[in-house]
Structures are given as C-alpha cells and as structure tokens.
Chain A
Amino acid sequence: MKKTFVYIALALTAFACKKDNYDPPSSTLSGHITYQGVPINVSSKDVTFELWEPGWGKSGAITVNVKEDGSYSALLFDGNYKLVIPRSQGPFRSITNAETKTDTMLLTVSGSRDMNIEVMPYYMVRDAKLTLSGTTVNANCKLEQIITDANARNVESVFLYVNQTQFVDGTNYLARAALNGGDITDLANVNLSVNVPDNHSANGASGDQDYVFARIGVKISGVEDLLFSEVQQINLK
C-alpha cells in the first residue's frame, strides 16, 4: 500500500517537472549604439533601452543596459520584439523608423543576431588624443555637432576623467578636470589637462599599478547622460 503511494507521488512529481520546464532563452541579440557605424560611448550603467514582446498577458519591458563602449547584449527567446529607446536615455535622439513611422523599431529574433542601433547624437567626440607629460594627462579632441536643427543643444561642459579601472565616468573617477561650455572658443580644438594624483600608485586597492585610464566626457545642456570618448589606457612609466 505504502509503496503505491510513493510511486504515485514520484510519478506526479516527475510529470510536473517535465510539463513546467521549457528551454532557457538561447538567442543573443548584441551590437552597438552607433552613429554612421561609429559606436557612441556612454557612462557605465546609465543608458538603457527597452524591448517589448507583445502578445503576452501583462506587458513589461525587458531593459537592456548599454555598456561604456556603446555595446549591448541581451539573451532572448526567439520572437517578435519592439525596440524603443526611452526619450530620456543617452546623449542622443532616436531616429524615426521607416517602418513604424515612430521611434519604435520592429525586430524579429530567430537565433543569435548582431545588430547596430543607429541614433542621432547631439555631438560626437572626434580624434580624442590623450597623452601623458610628466604626471599630467593632456587631452585634445574635436567636438562635432551632429544635430544642428531646432533640436540642437549647447555643450554645457567638458570633463576629462582619470580612473584606476576601465570604468571612467562621472561617478567613477580618481581625478577630473572641467571646462565650461561657454569657455570653449573652438569646438574643433578642445583642450583639457588633469594631474594624476600622487597617491594613486600607493593606494591600497591598486597596489603598484603603473597605469591609469582616461576619457573625455561631454555634458550637453538639457541632456542628463554624458557623451564620452573611448577609454584609453595611459601608462605612467
């Protein structure tokens, strides 16, 4: 008698498991946020976009984080998605999609897919040159204004950040220099310099690290997220 109960219980458990389980998502959607194919660098953990998969009971977005170098990746189930970049995200504007006539992009995921998302940045940081002289990091770059119509915005300030790790942005920095937007005379020739703190190599966290990372950040007025140049490693020795 007892044995029968045990068998029935086991059988029920086994069936239940089989019925409830389905394969985990296996398709990777990845790529970069780009302007004319050039990745747009942003700060870490600040910029996201949303994927919506219509057809299910309640709707909720899958939030995809954009990494510092403008890349993203999401592990998804195959299906039809809608991609939208919320208006407040990133130092750029969405491009009106030809198919939907809005900022929403229709997307079919069937197996892994590499896809760049084209946007219209307010500016691009071009030809960023970061060099070391003594203990000072000097930066030179060109700010190319991309949006010049009614939606154009001014540069509020330009920053040069230095950090011990590859995460270099407004909340992750060891030293920083700032230049007011109003003080920039020539957007094609922006110069900044910042001193690498003496104590950084003696800092317990980094030991005798003899290099730092640096990049330029641009705060555009009326836009929350900063635009960045690519992270560069600066060897101190």
Chain B
Amino acid sequence: MVLNFLSDHLITRSMKKYLLILTAVISIITTGCLKDDEFLTTDPTNLLTDDAVWKSSDLVLSVLADLYDRYPEQQTITNWAEFTNFDEAFPSEAGQYWRTKQVDYPTGWWSLWDYGYIRDLNLFVQKCQAANELGADARARFLAEARFLRAAIYFEEVKRMGGVPLILEPMEYNFSGDPTYLQHARAKESDIYDFVISELDSVKNVLPDDAGIKSRATRGAALAMQSRVALYAGSIAKYGGSTPLVSLPGGEVGISADKAPAYFTKALEASQAVITGGKYSLYKKKAEDLQENFAALFYDKSNNPEVIFVQDFKLKSGKTQDWTLANQPWSSAEEQQGGRVNPSLNLALQYEKLDNTFAPFATNNGNDYVYYNNPGDIFAGRDNRLGGTIMLPGTRFKGVPLDIWAGVMYWKDGKYNIISGDNFGDRDSIPVAGAPKSSQVVGTDGPVDGLQYSAQTGFFVRKFMDPTVGSGQIGTRSDVWWIRFRYAEVLLNAAEAAFELGQTGLSSTYINQLRERAGFTTQLTDAQMTFDRIVHERRVELAFEGHEMFDNKRWRIAHKVWNGENISATDVTSNLGKADRVNTMIYAMWGYKIYHPGNANDGKWVYRIVKPSNVTAAHRFNLGNYYSVIGSDILSNNPKLVKNPNH
C-alpha cells in the first residue's frame, strides 16, 4: 500500500511532495523505535546469551555439538574426490580428471591454520570452568570433551604445519592500537606433540569408559588418539634424519632422534591400554563370509565392537552423507550417477595371496592370456580385505551382480580383435560371420575410458558403501558413519610401536590378529616383521580411511613414493609389498569376454593391464609438501612466525 502510494507520487507529483512524505515516514519509523527506552539493552530473541546457555546442560551440549561438527578432516566420505589424489583411486567424474593430470601437489593444499576453531574451544573451556550452575559430573565431561577436541585440532595442525603457536586461552584485543602482545611464536613440533599427549592423558580418566558411545569422546577414543599421536611423533623423530632438509633450526619442524623411543613406548602403552581394557574387539559377526565381514565392519552400526570414535549421520535429520550416492555402481544405481571413486590396480595388487606371498594378478601366460571361467576367478585366493575394500568384477552390490568388463575379444584373421562400446552396456554386432546381429559389447558398469561414473580402473570402492535400499537416492542418502578411530588401527599402532622398540614378537602377535580376520591361516613369524611389512599392513587394512598420505609423510617416504617419475605396467606389478615402491600413476585392469565359437576358450574371460587415458602425469611430492606453506597473510600479521622449510 505505502509503496504503491509512494511510487505513484514519485511519477505523478512533484519532487517536493515526495520528499515531504518520505520525511514523514522516516520520522514515524524512528520515533517508533526511540519510544522504547530499552532499545539498546533488549535481549535478542533469536540467539541465546552465555548466561542462559551455561545453566542448562542441554544447551551446552548443542554448543559442543557444533564443536564436534568442526572436527578437522582431510580425506573423508563427505569429500570423495580427496581420495583420488594419491594414486589409491581414480576420479571417475568429468570435472576431476585434473587430479591425475597434474605433477606437483600445491604446497598449500592441506594447509590448516584454524585458530577460529581453537579460540571457540578455548572459550568453551574457559566458560565451562566457570559454569557453577551445571552438575559437577556433566561439567567435568563437557570440559574433557572440549579438551579432547582441542587436542585433536592441535594434532591436525602439527601433522600438516609442524609446530604452531600453542594458544590455550581465548585472547582478547584491548584496542590499544598495538596488537603485538597477541602475536605468539611457533612452538617446537615436539612441544605440540607433547601437549596433545599430555592433554589426552589428563582427559582419558574423566571421559566415560563406555564402548557404546561412538560419536562423543570416550576413554577409548582418547587412548586411540594418543596411540596414533605418539606413533606419529616417534616416527618423525626416527625417520626425520633421512630428510635433513625438512627441518628448522628452532625445532618448529623436526624432532630429535633421541626422543623416538619414549614416543614409541607411549604409543605402545596407549594401544595396550585399549587392548587390555577389553571393551573393544575386532568385528567378526559375519565369519561365514570374510569379505562381507570386512565390508560390514564399516556399515554395521549396531553394537559394533571395533568402532571407537566416529562422525555419525542420521537419516531424515538433514545430516546424511552421500558416499554411496557418489560411488554406487551403475548396474544398481538409484540415480543417474555414481561410480566416482575407482580404486587403482596399484592398490588392488597390494593384497597378498592367502599363502602370505605377493603376486600380480595372473593376466598372461607367456604370450597368451590366462582364461578364466568367471570374471571373479582371477581374484580368488586373496586377502579377504581385497574384496571387502574394493568391489570386484563378478561380485554383487545390493544383490545386483556387477557388470564390469571392457569389451569383447573376438578371434579373426588368426588373432584377437577388440570390440567395445562407448556407453554403459552398449550393444553392437561382432564382425564375425555367424555372430548375432546385436550383442552387449561392454559391461553395464563400464569400464569405458573417459566415461564418467564408469569403473575406469575396472573397480569400484566398497568400503563405507551402504547396502541399504535408498542409500543411493538423492532424497534419502546414507547414515553410515565415518570411522575416525577403530580397534584395528590400535592394533596396527601397537604392532608398529613394538616393532620400532625391537619387540618383534609382540609386533607379530598384534598383526597376526588382523591377518587372521582377513583369512590368512599361516601366521607371520617374528623374523618376518620388517618395516615393509608394517607399512604394507597399514596400507591394505586402512585404505580409504585417510591414512595413506600422512603415514607416508611421517615415515619420510612420501617423496620416494611420489617421485614424479613415470611408471610402466611392469613397474606397477613389481616390488609389491615394498614400503617405498614408486606409485605415481594409476593403472587399471580391464576384463574382456572371449568370442571364439568352437574354441575351448569361447565365453571365458581375460584381463589386460592398461593406463586410463586421463592419467597423464606422474605425481610428485616435493620436500615442500612435508609441511604446508603458511600463508603470507598469516606471516605478515605475525612477524614472530618462521616460514616452513622448502617453500
């Protein structure tokens, strides 16, 4: 009404009148406000004040929920493409091929300087300490949880940046014009590790010792984190000497070698506290099918004994995740998308045969192919974690058989020729006399080179995939949790710490538990425990759980694994199980159906190793990638900060 009235006047009447009306309206509005004496002291109706929050444990819990939600991650199921950076998997989405086309990792890629989060945690700690109106137990638990989260962010900072300023109080600016008292120098790398370890020591006895709590901090979560943190510090101390350029004279980067045994001892103690605590154990609910058992360990959310600390999701709550939507095979897809994370052949080859030996998949026999009756036969007799981590040709997802094969090899003119299609499940006529007019020439799941959502490496990811109907629908999505800490990693941490302390007997005991669960019947002997073995076991057990890059970094082998040199198909299949084997380019293994009527091999399957055409560059991890670059804005805000090396 008023607007119409005004605009009418704007057009029809003189300017003078318009101004008069405007002045009148403004004066009415302003006097209306001024009438209220309490204008500047009225409590807001859309947010809660500190006073109100710190009386009610329900409200404090919602503040804490936000802090939990900001837990730092790099590779995680809500960020699928990050899993395709380090040759563990190929990104089968048109906009992501650059990840296999660029040589260098930018030095700021996983840079982290989250003092906003640290400040919020410090504020929470400060206010919680003063909150007398909360129950003593609730208050102690909240406080311990915030300190646990603060330890987690500092661990993430030190992993990526080295020593950072250790700020444990919320700092306030006094508007004096001189901010120098807010500028703090970087702590030593070892100081941050020591801080995190001691924080976890003090909160572990306050946090509930309850294996049923998965999404909030528990004693188990604190110990599991401590075992990982101490292990990281120990290996940086031990292996840092092999990259002398990756250090700073002030100790902000680099830990002296003599500290290694103490850290490894601490890592072993923390791991053993979880192991002997008896609250957690390996997931073995589906012992009749060990592949399914390994897959179920990640999606089974009821009474899961292995899971220690997670980021949880809930259907119909707005907090769901789309890992299954992003990665579902085309054959059982519930939307017109999926199949993005394609595990590399490089990773698949890491899984041993059940007789404890490494061997490439048998594709060739001399100059001829090896012929298989079923597509899945080539993968038989392997570590069950292979099929539990990766969807293999010949298996099923959501009850639907996967259809992964690249084409038909038909016999003509005394040799095999290949016919294939350029879309999911394409049909064509095989150019041989007597062949049917139209038959399928490529799998419903691909692989078709360059076709997004198809299995371009010949594999899909299985870990964290949700077999529930609807998990691949945009409107439903999935509530499978993201596991941050689980019992198997604690065993691996214990095994590595024991190995580094020279206790190979203890080390093999822990590793053999995992291998037994994976289907191995012959135990590893103490003499077989080597550094290569430790690295290998972590690689196959913890694939797609965000460990690969940070592990290679702390062992100081990242610059050898990703050295920027091209690798051939022969390189991919050799030196399996070596810790520092070069892994710069993703390879694929594609299956073909034989069409050779009248021959014994007709209808059988063969495999070829190929390089997807979108893999053009060999990845290179430079010394400058070991510790991320500190942005120039941060450096110029605080002249006390020293730069990280090799930038």
- Note all chain B residues with C-beta closer than 8 A to A171: 103, 564-565, 617-618, 620
Q: Any chain B CB within 8 A of the CB of A79? A: no
**14 pairs across A/B with beta carbons < 8 Å?**
A1-B15, A58-B633, A59-B632, A59-B635, A59-B636, A60-B633, A88-B645, A170-B565, A171-B564, A171-B617, A176-B565, A222-B245, A224-B245, A224-B646
Do A88 and B632 touch across chains, with their CB atoms under 8 A apart? no
List of A residues within 8 angstroms of B620 by Cβ? 171
**Which residues from B are CB-within-8-Å of A59?**
632, 635-636
Q: Is B647 an interface residue (CB 8 A)?
A: yes
Residues of chain B at interface, number, CB under 8 A: 22
Majority SS at the chain B contact face: loop
**In the complex, what residue of chain A is closest to B14 when comparing beta carbons?**
A1
Structural contact, A58 and B632, CB atoms closer than 8 A? yes
* Cβ-closest chain B residue relative to A173: B566
Contact B636 A58 (CB under 8 A): yes
Q: A58-B633, A86-B647, A170-B564 are in contact. List 16 more A-B contacts (CB 8 A).
A: A1-B15, A45-B104, A58-B636, A59-B632, A59-B635, A59-B636, A60-B633, A61-B632, A87-B645, A88-B245, A88-B623, A171-B103, A171-B564, A171-B620, A224-B245, A224-B622
Using a CB–CB cutoff of 8 Å, the interface residues on chain B facing chain A are 15, 103-104, 244-245, 564-566, 617-618, 620, 622-624, 632-633, 635-637, 645-647
The distance in angstroms between the C-alpha atoms of A58 and B638, with both chains bound, is 10
Q: Which residue of A lies closest to B637 (CB)?
A: A58
* Interface membership of chain A positions 173-208, coded 1 if the CB is closer than 8 angstroms to chain B and 0 otherwise: 100100000000000000000000000000000000
Q: How far is B7's CA from A19's CA once the two chains are assembled, in angstroms?
A: 35
Number of interface residues of A (CB under 8 A): 15
**A171 to B635 Cα, complex, angstroms:** 32
Task: Provide the residues of chain A in CB contact with B635, threshold 8 Å.
Answer: 59
- Report whether A60 and B622 are in contact in the complex, using a CB–CB cutoff of 8 Å: no
Q: A60 to B632, Cβ gap below 8 A?
A: yes
Q: Do B624 and A88 touch across chains, with their CB atoms under 8 A apart?
A: yes
On whether the beta carbons of A60 and B103 are closer than 8 Å, the reply is no
1/0 per residue, CB under 8 A from B, across A46-80: the answer is: 00000000000011110000000000000000000
Contact across chains for A60 and B623 when beta carbons are under 8 A apart: no
* Chain B residues, Cβ within 8 Å of A222: 244-245
Q: How far is the CA of A91 from the CA of B618 in the complex (A)?
A: 22
Query: How many Å from the CB of A104 to the closest CB on chain B?
Result: 14
The answer for the CA separation of A86 and B245 in the assembled complex, in Å, is 13
Q: A173 vs B244: C-alpha distance in the bound complex, in angstroms?
A: 28
A-B CB proximity, top 9 nearest: A60-B632, A88-B646, A58-B636, A171-B564, A59-B636, A171-B103, A224-B623, A170-B564, A171-B620
| Complex: A222 Cα to B245 Cα, angstroms | 7
CA distance A236 to B245 in the complex (A): 41
Please measure, in the bound complex, the distance between the C-alpha atom of A45 and the C-alpha atom of B564, giving whole angstroms. 13
Provide the residues of chain B in CB contact with A88, threshold 8 Å.
Answer: 245, 623-624, 645-647
CA–CA, A88 to B635, complex, Å? 18
One digit per residue, 1 when the CB lies within 8 angstroms of any chain B CB and 0 when it does not, for chain A 203-229 equals 000000000000000000010100000
The distance in angstroms between the C-alpha atoms of A87 and B248, with both chains bound, is 12
CA A101 to CA B621, docked complex, whole Å: 34
Complex CA gap A170/B647 in Å reads 19
**A113–chain B nearest beta-carbon distance, Å:** 25
Residues of chain A lying within 8 A (CB to CB) of residue B104: 45
Q: Closest residue to A57 on the B side, CB-wise? A: B636
Residue of B nearest to A1 (CB): B15
Chain A hits for B632, CB < 8 A? 58-61
- A139→B473 CA distance, assembly (Å): 61
Determine how close the nearest CB of chain B comes to the CB of A195; give it in whole angstroms.
15
Q: In whole angstroms, what is the CA distance A60 to B630 when docked?
A: 12
A160 CA to B624 CA, complexed, in Å: 25
The 0/1 profile, CB within 8 Å of B marked 1, for residues 78-109 of chain A is 00000000111000000000000000000000
Q: How far is the CA of A121 from the CA of B189 in the complex (A)?
A: 32
Against B, the Cβ 8 Å flags (1 = close, 0 = not) of A154-184 are: 0000000000000000110100100000000
